[in-house]
Amino acid sequence: MTKTYPLLLDGALGTSLIAAGLPSGACPEAWILESAEHEQVVRSLVRRYVESGSRFVYTPTFGANAATLQNHSLSHRTTELNRRLAALVREEIDLLGVAVTVVGDLSPTGRFLAPMGDATFEELVGLYREQIAAMNELVDAFVCETNLQLADARAALFAARLVDPQKPFFASFTLAGDTTTLGGTDVRAAAVSLFSLGAHAVGVNCSTGPEAMQPAVGALSLLRPKGRYILAKPNAGLPDSEGHFSLSPEEFAQKAALLVPLGADLIGGCCGTSPDYLAALAKVLPTDVTERAGAAIDTLICSERCVFDAAKLTFPEPITVDDNTLFSLDFSAEALHLYFADVASAARAAELFCYLPSTALCFSAASAEALEAALFVYQGRAAVCMDNLSEKEKEHISTTYSPVLQKG
């Protein structure tokens, strides 16, 4: 990716589909492919975004994972829909002959991990892997956007690495507070987790206008490693009772441009925006932003809701986690060191601990398999003690999960 700033993303898709006649309750992905006329809506929109200055264009595949498609009894068409929709955008970009990054668009699955739901993390990874594999050859990058929880974004990242580990991956979250989502994820914790796993960009989209995104963008910019990016895609303000958004293209552009000095590197629009909004934004964006200084996150760990500096923590003696101790741990402690004797106890415990709001965790285990089971399921970034593992096992754990190493 180029390192000049800022880079312009695209704007909303749904707004244009509704204006073109998308029926309420219909599956947008299937509706687009129903006729050449519907396909032309997307082709025209892609062309207009590029003409407006967009250098990243998302595919119209937002709700095309099998779990979401099943709401329309269309999960059997997951591969077909993703491939055809991605090809639609790729064909139009190729016809334009311009240097534009085609981004495969992924959405939350609507599934939640235990104990909040009945999904397993492995199932989430599988859902995204199917969608990503279907369009991988047609796109240049992937984004999982409008996330309410870390699990979806993290599962999509793991799936993308399984399909094509060299392809850039972005993630963005929708806000309910200054830095928190409706699902309780703190976007600062999400950034630590996802950047440590190799995400190229982390940010915020939807939910609010550009002004309300300022705290989150500023906070995320303090956690951006060198060579990584902060993404912002605000709505055109807030909608009224008839669904009309409050900001004009010019008003949106002036307010969205203020996100750049706060740290936004990739910027576009979400609900209520159109090519006119992106054209207005392109006119007012600064063109002289130098490369950002990188943040050091090597010692940072996180739960889904809090960030901790492991270098400033003292982890206590390890506690063996099993059915007898699992629910008697002192979760009011600043830090805990958990030891797993087997794979089953590791996976079960880590699944529950991802929701801990204020406890920093260090993991160790009797085997590399047990430690990996905990790190795979844990929705955060843990510290680890690996003194008992071989050098090959340590390298695998470090490369795959990027935990913070502690001496035992």
The whole-number pLDDT of residue 97 equals 95
Domains with residue ranges and CATH for the chain: 7-284 (3.20.20.330), 300-405 (no CATH)
List the end-to-end C-alpha distance of the chain, in Å, as a whole number: 39
pLDDT in tens, the chain (408 residues): 444 678 999 999 998 899 899 999 999 999 999 999 999 999 999 999 999 999 999 999 999 999 999 999 999 999 999 999 999 999 999 999 999 999 999 999 999 987 788 999 999 999 999 999 999 999 999 999 999 999 999 999 999 999 999 999 999 999 998 999 988 999 999 999 999 999 999 999 998 999 999 999 999 999 999 999 999 999 999 888 878 899 999 999 999 999 999 999 999 999 999 999 999 999 999 877 767 888 999 999 999 999 999 999 999 999 999 878 877 888 788 999 999 999 998 988 887 776 666 899 999 999 999 999 999 999 999 999 999 999 999 999 999 999 999 986
Say how many C-beta atoms besides its own lie within 10 A of residue 331's C-beta. 11
Say if residues 269 and 252 touch (Cβ distance below 8 Å). yes
The CA distance from 362 to 114, in Å, is 21
The CA distance from 319 to 316, in Å, is 9
Say if residues 251 and 273 touch (Cβ distance below 8 Å). no
The whole-number pLDDT of residue 355 equals 67
The whole-number pLDDT of residue 4 equals 62
The whole-number pLDDT of residue 356 equals 65
How would you write the chain as a 3-class SS string? CCCCECEECCCCCHHHHHHCCCCCCCCHHHHHCCCHHHHHHHHHHHHHHHHHCCCEEECCCCCCCHHHHHHHCCHHHHHHHHHHHHHHHHHHHHHHCCCCEEEEEECCCCCCECCCCCECHHHHHHHHHHHHHHHHHHCCEEEEEEECCHHHHHHHHHHHHHHCCCCCEEEEECECCCCEECCCCEHHHHHHHHHHCCCCEEEEECCCCCHHHHHHHHHHHCCCCCCCEEEEECCCCCECCCCCECCCHHHHHHHHHCHHHHCCCEECCCCCCCHHHHHHHHHHCCCCECCCCCCCCCCEEECCCCEEEHHHCCCCCCEEECCCCCCCCCCCCCEEEEEECCHHHHHHHHHHHCCCCCCEEEEEECCHHHHHHHHHHCCCECEECCCCCCHHHHHHHHHHHCCEECCC
The CA distance from 278 to 253, in Å, is 8
The whole-number pLDDT of residue 408 equals 64
The whole-number pLDDT of residue 340 equals 95
The whole-number pLDDT of residue 329 equals 83
